[in-house]
Amino acid sequence: MTTTAGNKEFWFPYIMWWILWAVVHFFLLQAFGVQNKIAFVDALVSNGLLALSGFITFTAFRFYMPGKGNYLYRIIYLIALPAICVFTTKFALQNIFFDNDDYLKFLESSQYPRYVFAFLMIALMGIVSWLRYYMLEQNENKKRKNDAEILLRDAELSNLRQQLQPHFLFNSLNSISALAGSEPEQARKMIQQLSDFLRGTLKKDDTQTVTLQSELEHLQLYLDIEKVRFGHRLVTEIICDDNAKQMFIPPLLLQPVVENAIKFGLYDTLDAVTISILAKASENYLELTISNPFDKATSKANAGTGFGLNSINRRLWLLFGRNDLLQTEQKENIFLTRIKIPQVL
């Protein structure tokens, strides 16, 4: 349960405490007129046995934490162990100083205060040991819970990333199917671009974070595919300052947001549409703004499942424990998606 470092931090003050109390014990005996040699041996034997009793108590609590219903066992333990300790001390000192009648009378008369002191000290050591091992157990339980939550979080993040791939793949395959008959060259080009995109996606599966520069390069593969689908109708604008390019972002975060912008911006119009991506560094955040035209009259019919933005919001919560990092806003006929990425990845 305890580490070597933790044991050293605990046992050193424990030993120092008993050495200090042995010195106090020695001077107390001197005050009662006990000879120096006898007082030294008495203090050494008495406190040595008490220290041993404390060690037994700590060891017992290390392997056995009494439950709520075991009060009787605790009372018996607290009564019996001090009695055994005092009896053993008396027996040892009587055999060492068997020829000193004055000290033997003093020893006999001091049994009750010795027992009371031993009882209080062992009770104190029992409380301290119980608190120590209880806190260690709670810390271990908390650590196991945190480890389990991390494993669950990583599993869910991995599942979300795996869901993003077929979500985009199905849309691309539908477009390839539509182009195969009328524009086979464009269909072949789109297949090659899709292959490059998926290859890059697989490389990022085990990556916790990437630079924005890397994410934008991968996003460009996706945009190239979409431009085959929509031709001149899709215009993209990426504005990114140099500081922002070196900041970190969870991989595959931008593609679902841009896909959502393309869906709402191009599906209901034949005109050219500009999808804008603005990235800037702001203190400890990477701020991303994705904008697209938005037609309120037709948006509800093509709202879809909302998987893209929902998955992004869920990933951000799993990574940072915050629900305010993704926000959407409508300004007249422009739909804005704002994402803030804390730089503590």
pLDDT tens string 71-88: 667 677 778 888 888 898
- 318-342 in b/e burial notation, b at 16+ Cβ within 10 A? bbbeeeebbeeeeeeeebbbbbbbe
List CB contacts of 22: < 8 A, sequence separation 6 or more: 43, 44, 46, 47, 48
Output the CA torsion sign for 82, 121, 61, 42. Answer: negative
Residue 262 confidence (pLDDT) above 80: yes
How distant, in Å, are the alpha carbons of 58, 162, 290, 345 from that of 167?
A: 59, 9, 20, 26
Contact 295, 255 (CB under 8 A): no
pLDDT tens string 228-256: 778 888 899 999 988 899 999 988 888 88
Instruction: Report DSSP letters for 247-306, one per residue.
Output: SEE-TT-HHHHHHHHHHHHHTT-SS-EEEEEEEEEETTEEEEEEEEE--HHHHTTT----
**Which two structure tokens, joined as six digits, stand for 35?**
């000879």
Contact 78, 56 (CB under 8 A): no
Q: What is the mean pLDDT of residues 186-194?
A: 81
pLDDT tens string 272-304: 888 999 999 988 899 999 998 876 665 554 444
Structural domain boundaries of the chain?
A: 4-144, 207-342
Distance CA 9, CA 3 (A): 10
Contact 338, 289 (CB under 8 A): yes
Distance CA 60, CA 126 (A): 9
pTM above 0.85, yes or no: no
CA atoms within 13 A on the CB side of 76: 5
Distance CA 90, CA 81 (A): 14
Residue 9's pLDDT is: 64
Residue 280's pLDDT is: 92
Contact 269, 292 (CB under 8 A): no
The correct answer on CATH 3.40.50.300 for the domain covering 207-342 is no
